[in-house]
Amino acid sequence: MAESEDRSLWAAAARAEEAAALGEIGAAGEPDASTHDAGDGRPQGIEGSDLPGPFPVGAYALRLREGLRQRPRVQLFGEVVNFRDGGRAKVYFELRDAGGALPCSAWRDDWEALRLGPGSVGDGARVVVGGGPDYYPGSATSSPAFTFLVRTLRVAGEGDLLAQLDRLRKLLDAEGLFAPQKRLPRPSLPRTIGVVCGRGGKARDDILAGLRRRGWAGRLIWAHAPVQDRHAAPRIGAALRELAALPEVEVVVVARGGGSLADLFAFCDETLCRTVAMLRVPVVASIGHHTDRTLLDDVAAVSCSTPTHAAEAAVPLHCGEARAALSGAAERLRGEGRRAVVDRARALAVMTRAPAEHVARHRRTLHQQVRELRASARRRAAEEQALGARRLLVVARKADAAVLEHQRGADAIREAAGGLRRAGPAGVERRSRDLERLALALAAHDPERTLERGYALVEGPGGELVTGAAAARAAGRVRLRFHDGRVAVRVAAQRGRRPPLTDDGQQTLALDDLPTSPLRTTRKPAPPTTRPGPAPAPAPAEEKGP
Amino acid sequence: MTDEERTYEQAAARIEAIIRRLDSGETGLRETLDLVREGRELVEFCASELEAVGRGLEELELDALIARLEGPNT
């Protein structure tokens, strides 16, 4: 409804302008221009057309500008996009919303009179502007331009673009699309690097500088793509896919220099971000300045503030340092290997010498011990000698004392001998007499003397003395001891019978037949001894009583 | 592990581990010689990798490369 009214309004305005132009041009003295030929250079009109004219375009353009300027001044609101403040007479930007856009401009005097803070109006800013349409008619050498001439402006807040960007960021994050790239392993020393950047941009030089700084000189595959218009995102996405399809490409750098948010908006494209998230190779992003953060920065494996840093991130290893470290490692390995062998060889050599050294050590020890032994022996001998000398002295002294004692003893003996010599003969004589007397007395009591006179002793079988008849009968067998030997007899109890001979030829005596006193022996018909033994000898020599 | 499967960082990490092991002084002769041999192979691999990115910058255009790759088929 509003659109149709707007369209009819525009149509009415156009008709009015055309009528005015016609009137003005007609007033210039050419009322019937359509019927005249072009004698003054003006061409004839289109045959059969009922439209007025033809009119010179410059005159029409001026009329158009006047008509636009006569339109009522209004206030409009929208987001600032593609803001350009180049220090010229005017500042330019576009005012956009979802329904459409207007190119806007403001005279510098008017703009500065607004006293807007630096940076308060920029891409994405939501603003309200006051002004009206204007038209620059151009000339033979310059292009015309339509603009909405801004006289006043108020910043209304952050734009919908940023809000939209934020919503998309949250959506991609919720889907986990920020993670896959960061999980990809990044080679520390890629041989081939793909680069997506604008053709002839400064980013290219920065990337080369970064790679030089790393000492990296491998293979670079450039994929040039537009980096800021509406074609940029699809072309960048295609370039990334093609680079990732090359098997030798190990990492891709996407770089773009600084710019407005609108310039960088291509790098917030949802499709591009989803493409990057699914790539097999890690993507290092460097989009705009460090204050800008596009969605591609979030999705990429690494986000860097400048293309130079992006190049360094693509080659994490400093090649020069790595070469130095590697040669150091090689040297250490060489040293370790050599040392492992040489040290052991030395140890072996030492071990080979060890037995001889062991023997030599023992020999030295032995010599030392021998020396100590000799010294000890000498010392000991000296001590023994001293001790011997002391003992000798003691012995000598004792010998002297003994000699002295001996002399004293000898003197005493001599003295005693003298005494004995003096007392000897008288004593001997007296003692001989006493002895003789005692011998006589003793002989008088000797039983043998009694036996020699014809008596006999009766002994039992065990040699005990039988002193009575009852004992003799009880013993049964007795021996009679005479001065010249013994006779065995058996005691007979019967009277008047001759006693038989015993087994050994001895006679049996009946005690009852014998006179009780004095004892008499019977004659011996057989050998006189009753037992083997020494031959009978003279009684005093054979058996002697006590 | 073949050279194709091996990466520079794996090789460099292994070299560091080998040197740490050798520095520990706990290795016997056989192990030392084996480690040194392995380390030398890894150093050669790393040196070849560094050599590959040290010969001089080679710059290709993606479009030209694709055109060349697709050339024989078209």
Q: How many residues does chain A have?
A: 546
Rg (CA), chain B: 19
Catalogue the E-assigned strands of A139-204. Answer: 145-158, 192-197
- The angle subtended at Cα A125 by Cα A123 and Cα A127, nearest 5°, is 130
Segment A217-232 mean pLDDT: 86
Residues of B with CB below 8 A from A341's CB? 29, 33
Cβ separation A322–B40 shorter than 8 A: no
Neighbour count for residue A145 (Cβ, 10 Å)? 13
Report in angstroms the alpha-carbon separations of B31 from A343, B12, B21: 15, 19, 10
Task: Give the per-residue pLDDT at B2.
Answer: 62
Question: Please, is A305 exposed, middle or buried when counting C-beta atoms within 10 Å of its C-beta (0-12, 13-18, 19+)?
Answer: middle
Question: Is the pLDDT confidence value at A181 over 90?
Answer: yes
Alpha-carbon gap: A280 to the closest alpha carbon of chain B (Å) = 17
Least confident of A134-138, A288-292, A362-366, B51-55: A288-292
By the 8 A CB rule, do A465 and A457 touch? yes
Segment A211-237 mean pLDDT: 88
Residue A298 to residue A294: CA distance in whole angstroms: 7
Task: Give the per-residue pLDDT at A159.
Answer: 55
Would you say the pTM of this structure is higher than 0.80?
Answer: no
Question: Is the pLDDT confidence value at A129 over 90?
Answer: yes
pLDDT class for A477, splitting at 50, 70, 90?
confident
Angle between helices B29-52 and B8-24 (to 10 degrees): 150
By the 8 A CB rule, do A191 and A219 touch? yes
**B19 shares contact with chain A (CB less than 8 Å):** yes
Residues of A with CB below 8 A from B57's CB? 208, 211, 217-218, 220
Testing the interface with B: which of A221, A240, A331 to mutate, by most B Cβ within 10 A?
Answer: A221
- Ranges A200-209, A273-282, A410-419, most confident: A273-282
Task: Give the per-residue pLDDT at A358.
Answer: 85
By the 8 A CB rule, do A131 and A89 touch? no
Task: Give the per-residue pLDDT at A2.
Answer: 44
Question: Is the pLDDT confidence value at A370 over 90?
Answer: yes
Q: How many residues does chain B have?
A: 74
Alpha-carbon gap: B40 to the closest alpha carbon of chain A (Å) = 7
By the 8 A CB rule, do A456 and A539 touch? no
**B22 shares contact with chain A (CB less than 8 Å):** yes
Residue A213 to residue A319: CA distance in whole angstroms: 9
Task: Give the per-residue pLDDT at A368.
Answer: 94
Q: Chain B 41-60, CB below 8 Å of chain A: which residues?
A: 43, 46-47, 49-50, 52-60
Alpha-carbon gap: A102 to the closest alpha carbon of chain B (Å) = 37
Task: Give the per-residue pLDDT at A420.
Answer: 80
Least confident of A46-55, A64-73, A314-323, A537-546: A537-546
Query: Who's near A41: CB < 8 A, 6+ residues apart?
Result: none
Cβ separation B61–A224 shorter than 8 A: yes
Residue A354 to residue A333: CA distance in whole angstroms: 31
Alpha-carbon gap: B32 to the closest alpha carbon of chain A (Å) = 7
Residue A297 to residue A280: CA distance in whole angstroms: 17
Residues of A with CB below 8 A from B56's CB? 217
Question: Is the pLDDT confidence value at B8 over 60?
Answer: yes
Share of chain A above pLDDT 90, in %: 38
- pLDDT tens digit sequence for B14-44: 999 999 998 888 888 889 889 999 999 999 9
Cβ separation B53–A319 shorter than 8 A: yes
DSSP-derived secondary structure for A231-258:
THHHHHHHHHHHHHHSTT--EEEEEE--
Task: Give the per-residue pLDDT at A431.
Answer: 86
Share of chain A above pLDDT 70, in %: 80
Alpha-carbon gap: B17 to the closest alpha carbon of chain A (Å) = 11
Segment A128-147 mean pLDDT: 92
- pLDDT tens digit sequence for A482-525: 888 888 888 876 554 455 545 454 555 554 444 444 444 444 44
Residue B58 to residue A252: CA distance in whole angstroms: 16
Task: Give the per-residue pLDDT at A36.
Answer: 47
Angle between helices A270-277 and A160-174 (to 10 degrees): 30
- Smallest CA-to-CA distance from A458 within A471, A445, A449 is with A471
Task: Give the per-residue pLDDT at A340.
Answer: 82
Question: Is the pLDDT confidence value at A354 over 50?
Answer: yes
Question: Is the pLDDT confidence value at A4 over 80?
Answer: no
Task: Give the per-residue pLDDT at A97.
Answer: 86
pLDDT class for A537, splitting at 50, 70, 90?
very low
pLDDT class for A532, splitting at 50, 70, 90?
very low
Cβ separation B32–A239 shorter than 8 A: no
**Helix (H) or strand (E) run with residue A131 in it:** strand A125-136
Residue B65 to residue B62: CA distance in whole angstroms: 5
Task: Give the per-residue pLDDT at B3.
Answer: 59
Task: Give the per-residue pLDDT at A61.
Answer: 93
Question: Is the pLDDT confidence value at A423 over 70?
Answer: yes
